[in-house]
Structure formats: C-alpha cells, structure tokens
Structure 1
Amino acid sequence: MTEAPKPIVFLGSSLDDLRAFPLAARREAGFQLDQVQHGGEPNDWKPMSSVGPGVREIRVRDAAGAFRVLYLAKLADAVYVLHCFQKKTEKTAKADVDLATRRYRDLLQEINQ
C-alpha cells in the first residue's frame, strides 16, 4: 500500500449521509475508505455487482447498528462513493440499491462523454 492516495469523490448526498453516521461508525468508515484510497482492501467488504461491475460495499458494524458505504475504486482517477446508509434489515433495501445504481450509471455516463 505505497501508491499515492486517490482522491475520494462523494456522489449525490453520500457525504452528508456519511456525516450522519454515529461517530464510531463514521470513524471506522473513514478509516476503511483511507485504506481503499491507498490501494488496499477494506477489512470487511463484499462485491455489489447488482449495482455495477467493480462496486463494493464496506460493512461497518457499530453499537448503533449496521452501516454501509458503496463505492467504486476500479477507475484510475478516484474512489467514487456512491451511497452511504444505515442498514435496517438483513437484505439491503431496494431503494438503497436503486439509488447507488442510478449514481453509478450517471457517473459512467459523465466519464464517457
């Protein structure tokens, strides 16, 4: 993990959503994103191919609940945070997946113009 850190680009309301996390969850999410910025892997993640190829979900567990950060790091120029949210049920809510998918599509459209 010695490469120069990639900038983080927060799409839509994702930065505000992350800031709404409880302090401990916010710190943990920030630490995990820092690892990604430096070319590493988050400690707890899974692929979110339902959103788009290369999209991953950082999983943060906290006393206040389960929190998720959906991001795309495979593009060379930046780490794109698509969506941050608190998970309320076992399965990720369709609204959260749909929002991240829309931001992913918009991002690719913007990049390919």
Structure 2
Amino acid sequence: MKPLVFLGDALRRLRDFPEGARHDAGYQLHRVQCGEQPSDFKPMPEVGPGVEELRVWDASGTYRVIYVARVARAVYVLHAFQKKTQRTARADIELARQRYREIGG
C-alpha cells in the first residue's frame, strides 16, 4: 500500500469537509492507496499527466480531491476543496498544477 502525502494545506482542507464527505473521500483515497480505482473520478490532464480528481457528493455540497497516484513512491494529494460551480475554478487548477510541479511533475 502506498503512503498518502499531502501537499500544502490539502490535509487541513480535507479535514474541513463535512463528516460524510470526509469519510467518503478517505475511503476512496484508501482504495487508491491499495491500487484500486475510486468509484467516481476523472482525469485532470490540465494539471499534469496521471493527475485525477476524486469526486465526492454530500448533502452540503460537492467536494473534490485532486491527486496523482502514478508516482511509484506515494499517492500525492495536491488539493482538496468544495466545488461551487460547474467548472473547476482556474485558481484551484493552478494551485494543483503548482503542487504537481513540486513533486517533479
């Protein structure tokens, strides 16, 4: 099982999710650590190769966790946030892209 490595404030932001969304995101990240696919995700090529967005829905809103698992040594969580519009905000994509570069992407 690969370790989870949180970049920047991603862990704090994930912990700020409501309990149900936090639990679901944690379960899906565990699946990724074990080499399985999460139940709902999409590729995020605009952030970098191999980057994916975990999608979590809760009664209080829509949440996203951007991560990359194709690096051999760990699953890197680049960003976690509540999504408030149909499109992912440019600032969220740029932040994830910057953190992706930090791991050598």
With normalisation by structure 1, the TM-score equals: 0.91
Choose from 34, 40, 43 the match for 1:38.
Answer: 34
Read off the aligned partner of 2:27 and give its amino acid letter.
Answer: F
Choose from 76, 80, 83 the match for 1:80.
Answer: 76
With normalisation by structure 2, the TM-score equals: 0.98
Deviation at 1:77, TM superposition (A): 0.5
Deviation at 1:96, TM superposition (A): 0.3
Read off the aligned partner of 1:21 and give its amino acid letter.
Answer: F
What RMSD over aligned residues (CA atoms) do the two structures have, in Å? 0.7
User: Please, which runs of 5 or more residues in structure 2 have no aligned partner?
Assistant: none
Choose from 6, 9, 13 the match for 1:10.
Answer: 6
Matches within 5 A, 1:13-32: 13-32=9-28
Q: Structure 1: how far apart are the matches of 2:103 and 2:9?
A: 14
Which 10-residue stretch deviates more, 60-69 or 100-109?
100-109
% identical aligned pairs: 58
User: Rg larger in 1 or in 2?
Assistant: 1
Matches within 5 A, 1:30-109: 30-108=26-104
User: Please, which runs of 5 or more residues in structure 1 have no aligned partner?
Assistant: none
Deviation at 1:107, TM superposition (A): 1.3
Number of equivalenced pairs: 105
Q: Structure 2: how far apart are the matches of 1:6 and 1:44?
A: 20
